[in-house]
Every structure is written in structure tokens, then in C-alpha cells.
Amino acid sequence: MIANTDGGAFIRASGPHARRSTAPLQEAIGATADWLLGQQAADGYWVGELEGDTILESEYVLLMAFLGRERETVCVQACRYLLDFQQADGGWGNYPGGPSDLSTTVKAYFALKLLGTSTSDPVMVRAREAIHAAGGAQACNSFTRFYLALLGQISYDETPCVPPELLLIPSWLNFSLAAMSSWTRTIVVPLTIISALKPVRDLGPERGIAELFRDDLPRTPWRTARFFSWGNFFFGVDRVLRWADRHMPASWRQPGIRAAHRWMVDHFRNSDGLGAIFPPMIYTVVALECLGYERDSEPVQWALRQLEDLVIEEDGKVRLQPCVSPIWDTAIATIALADAKLPSYHPALFSAVRWLLEKEVRVAGDWAVRRPGVEPAGWHFQFNNEFYPDIDDTAMVLLALQRTALADSPEVSEATRRGVNWLLAMQNRDGGWAAFDVDIDNEVLTKVPFADHNAMLDPSCADITARILELLGTLGERVDHPSAARALDYLWRTQEPQGCWYGRWGVNYIYGTWQVLQGLSAIGFPMDDPRVQKGADWLESVQQPCGGWGESCHSYDDPSTMGQGEPTASQTAWALLGLIAAGRAETPCVTRGIQYLMATQRPDGSWDEAPFTGTGFPRVFYLRYHLYRVYFPLMALSRYQAAAGALPSESPGAQASRIPALPTPFEV
């Protein structure tokens, strides 16, 4: 028996009297649905591992080195994990199969050396050669430079100045903290404290990495070449601040430091770490140390616990997640199971709805600076991240809530009303939607010296904009809705000449194109429009001979490779969902895609998927969501079944008679 968490079988059963599946497609859907039901937590949520690159393990080891704890077992195990990912050229990359990245490689080398790896070890020799070939350690990005300064490898004069006085700039100015993306905000605030107070742990020359620097290149290569430019303007500001730091009384920085301290501590509330993401969690620990907190104090211990919660130990090795994704995973799993015809009153869906409703944010966060007076609502990505509900999660949760028997209940109706009103208030002036905030699009800020993480702004993107259209359409709105009309204008302006759309939060053009086609279909846009058909044609054009679809993260660096890469289950599912939304469910292209998914499905109902298909910061940081390989294919198979009429609308194995009597809603 393959059972769900409530003890009631969903689709498949085994034994001499079992009801046999009547079609391979139905069997495939049933196997995946059963697998997914088996992963649901007792509280009603789903959460899969969220995998990033090795900067997570390296930076954790470097933090522990700053604290004098680099010899602890967790660091040894993290370095064992690092060794598994060194590439043929000696470096470490940002995604499987991608080129080596200088900053990632420098941090990996440093971590390994701190754990006692000899510089003559072939691992280190090859890494050192790769670093020198890429310009030496001095060519690292700004955030890596702060780690090097923290551990005494460079002077703080060789890092960009991140002044705490940023927090004293009025929020209505477009150069203030409020003008930066939410993730940059949470990184920058503790970093301002570090930049001002300049903590250092002296490791001694024998444990340092002087051998990684090239003497023939400048130590601070971030000054721009043009004489008149915003980059040079900010470089000049940087020099003025350094002069003031050397010649002004120390007290001149205290108002900014106090403001940064207050902001940081205030944002600890109801959060899984500052911003609930890895980089600011690391900087929090260092900033608290700078401010004089004892290491056994509750704030420091709390900050360390948030990092420890991201640690996964397996086979004598340790890896870290950049954060966790329960709300995102729960919403998509709920939609996928509803697509698979799990009865809308099933206890698994009831418990998911109850858990999601409990996670609604009902207090104003950072977003309220630009949208004062809007009723707080929305959902974040992690278990707890009260200051940062995001637009994408909110839309996905609301879509999930509509797919259950509780959709018309007072609780869900009110949450939907609040959520939709909040989403509509968060539309950007260009007609699109971004991730966390409104109109965070001042390109000048991308020229500041510490903006080389490619995430200073939070502009509109096609994938999130299309998801809002999908939600509005699901709730009965059509293309004449004022917000939808503005969003459509944005989407047509951002369509690529080839017909596809850029994907900001998934890799890449396959993700963006699927989302747009699905959103257009939901809102009632004519799917025979030539622009729509051009998008569908593009998806068909990049199908691979095996029937699947795949696209590498490299397409962010080189758009000429759009739609090219190793086929994956998740990207194949996205392409199929886009084509089905475009009305092409019964075409040979879609049939071959469905056959590819069924042929590559594992016996347990899941799929293998090694490539990273999630996007954190394009060109900088990528992700592998471990549940993408399951719930998106389930969605595609199920929607194909419904659209092509391949099978009855209800799966015979639903077995309503086996489902226990349902309690009153919200008493599951």
C-alpha cells in the first residue's frame, strides 16, 4: 500500500485484489501523487531541500574561523563536502557544469587551508593556478573582500566603504536604504557596522592566503575607467568617507552605527534570522560581535542557531541551505495534487490550507515604507520572515487556496481579499510586479562599489507579473481589469524577439515563457494572438530530440544559448505547461514531452534532476529546489490528462470511500 499521511491511499495499491491502473499515464500520475503525499509534514506543509553552491559551506567555515572555531567537526565535514565540487580546471563554480567563479574558488581555497590542507596538495595547486589565471584574489567581488579583511588578509582600505550613515538618509530619497532591494538591505545593514568598526582576527602569515594575490595587478580594481561616470562619483564618495574615518573623531560615526544597530535588532522579530537568508545571517553574527555582545548572549546564540538550522549532515559531510522554502513548496504541492484530482476535501489539502493560513503576514514590513496605509497581508518564503512577505509566494499561495474545498470559506475568502488588495497595491509604475517592493529600479545604485552582487535592485519581471495575471484570471477577472491591462503592456514590451520571455526566478527563458503563456490563458487573453503563438513556437523550437527540454544557467550570461542545456524534469514540465496553456495539448510536440517524462520517471514516482533550475541572483547565485523535480512534472502530466481528454477527469484510484470522514474546516 502506498499511503498518504492520513492512512488513506490516494491512487495506487498493491496486492491480489488491488484495483489496477487502466493507463500508463494514470499510473505515472498516481505514483507521483503518492510520493508527494508521503512527504507532507504532520503540520500540513511540504519543504524540500534548497541547494546552493559551495559559497555557503566556505563562508560558514570563514565565519567559524573568525570566531576561533574552525577546527570544529562541522567545519571539517563542510570541507569534505567542498572537495566533492572542485572542477577540472581547479576552481569551483556557481552551478553544476558551469565555469569556475573566482570569488567562489578563493573562499573554497581559504576554507580548505584553514582546515590544514597543505598548499602543495594537488587540490590547492590546481585551485591556486585557477585563481591566478582569473586575476588573483584582488579581483574578488566586494562581499568576498570583506571576508578577507575580517580574517586579516587585506586591509579594510581595500574593501568598498559601506557607511552606516546610509540609514540616516530619508527614505523618500531614491538613494536611501529603502531604494535598495530587500535582500541587499538585510545584507548592507550589518555590513555597515562591520565596515565602520573593522573587526579582524589575525591568523598569522602561515595560515593566510598571500599566495593568491598577484603583484602585477592593482589591489583595488573597482574604479571605473570612464572619467565622468556614476561609478567614479561613488568612488569619490568612498574616498571622502575614508578621509573622514581617519581624521574625524570616532563619535562622528555613532549616529549611523546606532541606527544600523537598532534597525538590525528590530528586524530579528519573528524571523528565521535577519532576512531569513544566509548572507545577512552570517554578517549578523559578526556585527553583534563588533557591537560588544558576549558570545553567550541570547542575540548571538539566536543568530548562530538560525545558521545551524540550515546545516544538513549526511555521510560524514555537511552542506548548508541558503534558506528554506516551506511556503513556496506547500503552495505548489497543493496545486499539483489538486491538478492530479486529489479530492478537494481531502485531509492533506485541508491541513495544507490550515498551515498556510496560519502563515499569513498581518503586520507591516519594509514594503510599507513605499506603500503606507495599505492593509498588511501576504506570505513569505520561509517558515518565519515577518518583514518580507513577497509577491510571488503570495500569488502562489492564493492560487493554492482556490484549489480546495475551503476556497469559499470565510477564512480563505478574507485572506484572498487581503492578499489580492495587497498585490494590486504592489504593482510597479511600469505595469509589472517585482519580488518584494515597489519601484526599486534606480539604476544609479548599481554603480556603488559594493553593488557587484547583481542584486541591488528589485525590478519588474515577466514571471511574477504573469503569475499575478494567472491569479486575477483564476478569481474571474479578465483582460479589461485595469491592473491586468497595464501588466499586459509590460509583458509585450519585454517579449524577446525570438518570442520568449526572460525568467528572473527560474532558469530561464523556458521558465519565463511558461509563466507568461499560463498567465495569459488564465486572464482570458486570446491565445491565437500572433504574439502568444510566437512564444509557443519558441518553446516547440527548443524541444530536444529526446522529447524533453533543458536550459543551462549559462543562458543568463549568453542569451544566444537560450533554451539549451541538459534536459530536466522541471524544465520539461514548464515547457509542457506553457504549450498546454497555449492550446497545444494535442500536438505531437506535447505528446513527445509527456512520453519523455513518463520514460524518465523513477519507480517511486519521482525524477532525477542534477542541474540547477532555480535562480537566486542571475549570473551570481543559482539554486536546486529538490521538489521541483516532482510537483512540476505532476502538474504537467495532470494538466495534459485534463486538456487532451486522455483519461476520465477523476482518477479511479481516488477511492473516496477510503478517505476518513472529514472534520469541520480548520479542525483537521
pLDDT tens string 99-110: 999 999 999 999
pTM of the model: 0.92
Q: What is the DSSP letter of 312?
A: E
* Per-residue pLDDT tens digits for 273-310: 999 999 999 999 999 999 999 999 999 999 999 999 99
Quick one: pLDDT at residue 459? 95
451 — pLDDT class (breaks 50, 70, 90): confident
> Comparing C-alpha atoms, which of 500, 415, 419 is closest to residue 463?
500
| pLDDT recorded at residue 1 | 24
State which H helix or E strand residue 415 sits in: helix 410-425
For every residue of 249-284, DSSP letters joined together read: -GGGGHHHHHHHHHHHHHTTTTBSSGGGSHHHHHHH
Q: Say whether pLDDT at 93 is over 90.
A: yes
Write the CB contacts of 73 (distance below 8 Å, at least 6 apart in sequence): none
Distance set, CA 298 to CA 258, 303, 343, 373 (Å)? 19, 8, 46, 34
Residue 121 falls in the annotated catalytic set: no
Check whether 74 has a pLDDT greater than 90.
Answer: yes
pLDDT tens sequence across 193-217 = 999 999 999 998 899 999 999 988 8
3-class SS at 517? helix
Confidence grade of residue 663 (pLDDT, cut at 50, 70, 90): very low
Going 628 to 336 to 21 to 351, the CA torsion angle's sign is positive
What residue type is 58 in one-letter code?
Answer: S
Is pLDDT at 455 greater than 90 in this prediction?
A: no
Tell me the pLDDT tens digit for each residue of 234-269.
Answer: 666 667 777 777 767 778 789 999 999 999 999 999
pLDDT tens digits for range 614-648 = 999 999 999 999 999 999 999 999 999 999 875 43
pLDDT at 667: 34
Q: 3-state class of 433 per DSSP? A: strand
Residue among 307, 333, 334, 339 at smallest CA distance from 320: 307
Average pLDDT over residues 161-166: 91
Q: Does the pLDDT of residue 340 top 50, yes or no?
A: yes
In the block, cell 485531509 appears at: 347
Please state the φ and ψ torsions of residue 311, each to the nearest 5 degrees: -80, 135
Specify whether the CB–CB gap between 194 and 287 falls below 8 A: yes
Confidence band (pLDDT; 50, 70, 90) for 53?
A: very high
SS3 177: helix
At 474 the three-state DSSP class reads helix
The band of 126, judged by pLDDT with boundaries at 50, 70 and 90, is very high
Catalytic residue among 392, 430, 437, 439: 392
Burial 623-634 (b: 16+ CB within 10 A, else e): bbbbbbbbbbbb
- Within 10 angstroms of residue 591's Cβ, the number of other Cβ atoms is 15
Spatial separation of the C-alpha atoms in residues 516 and 97, rounded to whole Å: 28
For the cut 70, the answer to whether the pLDDT of residue 427 exceeds it is yes
- Mean predicted confidence (pLDDT) in 562-568: 97
Q: Report the mean per-residue pLDDT for the chain.
A: 90
| Higher pLDDT pick, 57 / 648 | 57
C-alpha cell at 618: 542571475
Answer yes or no: is pLDDT of 161 > 60. Answer: yes
Q: Where are the beta strands (DSSP E) in 302-388?
A: 311-314, 317-320
Q: How confident is the model at residue 175 (pLDDT cuts 50, 70, 90)?
A: confident
Other CB atoms within a 10 A radius of the CB of residue 537 amount to 16
> What's at 59, amino acid-wise?
E
Above 60 in pLDDT, residue 83? yes
Indicate the SS3 state at residue 619.
coil
- Contact in structure between 565 and 555 (CB atoms under 8 Å): yes
What percent of the chain is predicted at pLDDT more than 70?
90
Q: Label residue 229 by pLDDT band (50, 70, 90).
A: low
Q: Which domains does the chain have, with CATH numbers?
A: 24-49+324-426+461-647 (1.50.10.20), 53-320 (1.50.10.20)
pLDDT of 11 reads 40
345-374 residue pLDDT tens: 899 999 999 999 999 999 999 999 999 999
* pLDDT over 50 (residue 15): no
Calculated CA dihedral for residues 29, 34, 40, 43, nearest 10 degrees? 110
Residues in the chain: 668
What's the pLDDT score for residue 22?
43
Lowest-pLDDT range of 251-255, 394-398, 532-536:
251-255
Which is nearest to 100 in space by CA: 135, 121, 78, 131? 131
